[in-house]
Structure 1
Amino acid sequence: MRLPAFLAVIVAGIGIDQWIKHLVETRMAMHELIDVLPFLGLFRIHNTGIAFSMFSGLDRMLLIGLAVAVMIFVGWLAARTDPAHVLARLGFALILSGAFSNNLIDRLLLGYVVDYILFHTPTWSFAVFNLADAFISVGAGLVILDEVILWRRHARQGAKGPGPGGG
């Protein structure tokens, strides 16, 4: 994945996430549940912490600073990744788009992150999250998948090469 496509994924991810958050903020009441499927609903909530509301008592600027540091590191990793590793580059772009949308835009402009996706049953529910969180999780999975594919490719090539002792 070349730089223009990499940047397009980031911009598209941010745009979609921010658009949906705008709709949620302007058209849903706080803590309103709208069932989309029997196990999936929209549920508006504000998260002042990080994933699953952890560290919600931490200073907002500290959370933003940590997010910026992580984003710089992920950007550095992406820049060092061969563009031929499309899955990893796509994964890094998704991670950056989710982190930028949640941790910079939401926290800087609103002071909190807008969460709205809820998986649930009548007796159980998962933590409320948003599309940016999903981008981060899927992106991390793609980076790991790319590494596994690369590792398996090298293992197969090594098995075909000279045996023990160098041949």
Structure 2
Amino acid sequence: MTAAGKPTLFSRPLPIALFILVALVLDQAIKWAVDQYLPFEQAVHVMPMLALYRTHNYGVAFSMLSEMEGWFIVGMRLFVVAFVLWLWRRTPKDRFFAHLGYAMIIAGAIGNLIDRFLHGYVIDYVLFYTATWSFAVFNLADSFITLGAGAIVIDEILHARRVKAAKAQTGD
């Protein structure tokens, strides 16, 4: 909890909207550059274990559901955005990491949704690999979603600790 339970930055509509807008502009600018300048499905090695690798993802995270109809995936992403907005509104305003996480998930979901509308697929371009293994190719929007989920988990852990400490102080 923040001092005296004050609302956090991302519990207010304007800051969360600005964060999402900046994240979307950054995501789409990078995807545009990737689409213009990276060769398709050819690794451009940046450093050991990291390459830029432009590919098209017709599914959701890690190409799951790629055999599903495009409108099903669009509908599912719209549902996720609506659900996360609902969670954002219901979460107490002093829960910083939860609100940050919701903002990141919304930005990532909308970023990939824009790709789906513009291209019919999502542009992915980051590849982690070793000599015997490689991770799924992903993008900045996917990173926002993953980091946002992590922020929500951190918030839940911190909240549970605060509740436990408050109960210990009151003797409950």
TM-score class normalised by the smaller sequence: over 0.9
Q: What is the match of residue 134 of structure 1?
A: 143
State how far apart, in whole Å, the 2-side matches of 1:45 and 1:137 are.
Answer: 20
What whole-Å deviation, never above 9, does each CA across 1:127-156 have from its counterpart, x for those lacking one?
A: 101110010000011011111101110001
State how far apart, in whole Å, the 1-side matches of 2:171 and 2:30 are.
Answer: 55
1:162 is displaced (CA, Å) by 2.6
Is the 1:90–1:139 contact (alpha carbons within 8 Å) kept by the matching residues of 2? yes
2:132 is paired with a residue whose SS is coil
Q: What is the match of residue 125 of structure 1?
A: 134
Instruction: Please point out which of 108, 113, 123 is paired with 1:98.
Output: 108
Structure 2: gaps of 5 or more residues = 1-8
1:79 is displaced (CA, Å) by 1.3
State how far apart, in whole Å, the 1-side matches of 2:32 and 2:51 are.
Answer: 17
Instruction: Please point out which of 66, 71, 76 is paired with 1:66.
Output: 76
State how far apart, in whole Å, the 2-side matches of 1:11 and 1:20 are.
Answer: 14
Which letter maps to 2:148? Answer: G
Instruction: Please point out which of 113, 132, 152 is paired with 2:161.
Output: 152
1:40 is displaced (CA, Å) by 0.9
Which stretch of structure 1 is more off in the superposition, 77-86 or 34-43?
Answer: 77-86
Q: Does 1:34 align with 2:33?
A: no
2:125 is paired with a residue whose SS is strand
What whole-Å deviation, never above 9, does each CA across 1:4-33 have from its counterpart, x for those lacking one?
A: 211111111111111110001000121121
Is the 1:9–1:90 contact (alpha carbons within 8 Å) kept by the matching residues of 2? no
Q: Does 1:43 align with 2:50?
A: no
1:122 is displaced (CA, Å) by 2.3
Is the 1:34–1:42 contact (alpha carbons within 8 Å) kept by the matching residues of 2? yes
- Number of corresponding residues: 162
Please report the TM-score for the alignment, with normalisation by the length of structure 1: 0.93
State how far apart, in whole Å, the 2-side matches of 1:84 and 1:160 are.
Answer: 20
1:124 is displaced (CA, Å) by 1.6
Q: Does 1:114 align with 2:123?
A: yes
What whole-Å deviation, never above 9, does each CA across 1:57-90 have from its counterpart, x for those lacking one?
A: 1000111001101110000111122332121111
RMSD: 1.1
